[in-house]
Chains A and B, each alone.
Chain A
Amino acid sequence: QVQLVESGGGVVQPGRSLRLSCEVSGFTFGSYGMHWVRQAPGKGLEWVAVTWYDGSDTYYADSVKGRFTISRDNPKNTLYLQMNSLRVEDTAVYYCARARYSNGWHTDDSWGQGTLVTVSS
């Protein structure tokens, strides 16, 4: 069955870096675009970034553009999110989600369970 497993979360000081991973199985990873979506404690869902199936194109939320980088290693079935210059407001559970194209790139029915990133001094 389809599985997405995030890892790499933890506690980090403001200004430092962290890299999240999302390892997938159960589907042909290289045929799908992928999203990162986050959720601050007690808040709603916030889109972070998307990458095309082959990594040839990427888009970012304004709040993370220039600080975060989404990438993928298709042979390793793994999606990444490199987070630099972290801020307190980046504290959230980070989810990876599979993308599907239908008048735009939305998330389909495959999501990970999330990994918690806490930015605190």
Chain B
Amino acid sequence: SYVLTQPPSVSVAPGQTARISCGGNKFGSKTVHWLQQRPGQAPVLVVYDDSDRPSGIPERFSGSHSGNTATLTISRVEAGDEADYYCQVWDSSSDHLVFGGGTKLTVL
């Protein structure tokens, strides 16, 4: 089965920039989407189609995808950004939706 790899944790001070990576095999052909999940809440889509933002998501959230790595970048990090972040792709070889293991963002 297809595997997406994320770092388990990322820590950043308020006002700094957080970068969360996501990678997998033959990743360049896939489209990546990112979800934010605050404790006790349902996931929220923050980036779709590699780099687009849904309405209502601050411009501080951006995504990029190059080669075998996709990156979620959160600029000017705020305390409220502390959450788990998941990347997501569709694996067409198995017709399965695949989530990364999640990255816990800690705001110091």
Contact = CB atoms under 8 A, between A and B. Distances in A.
B88 A107 contact: yes
B105 interface: no
Interface-central residue, A44, A100, A104, A112, by most chain B CB under 10 Å: A104
Contacts of B86: 44-45
A17 interface: no
A92 to B, nearest CB: 13
B108 interface: no
Contacts of B31: 102-104, 106
Nearest to A112: B42
Contact of B42 (A103, A106, A111): A111
A89 interface: no
B77 to A, nearest CB: 22
Contacts of A112: 42
Nearest to B92: A104
A32 interface: no
A111 B54 CA distance: 14
Contacts of A109: 44-45, 48, 54
A95 interface: yes
A97 B33 CA distance: 14
B84 to A, nearest CB: 8
Task: Decide if the interface of chain A is mainly helix, strand, loop or mixed.
Answer: strand
Given A44-B86, A47-B96, A95-B42, A106 B1 contact: no
Interface in B68-108: 84, 86, 88-92, 95-102
A120 to B, nearest CB: 22
Given A45-B99, A47-B97, A107 B42 contact: no
Contacts of B45: 107-109
A72 interface: no
Q: Sort A-B residue pairs by CB-CB distance and give the 6 closest, nearest first.
A: A104-B90, A103-B31, A47-B97, A44-B102, A109-B45, A59-B95
Given A59-B95, A95-B42, A105-B90, 11 more contacts: A44-B99, A47-B99, A62-B1, A102-B31, A103-B30, A103-B92, A104-B89, A105-B97, A106-B48, A107-B45, A109-B45
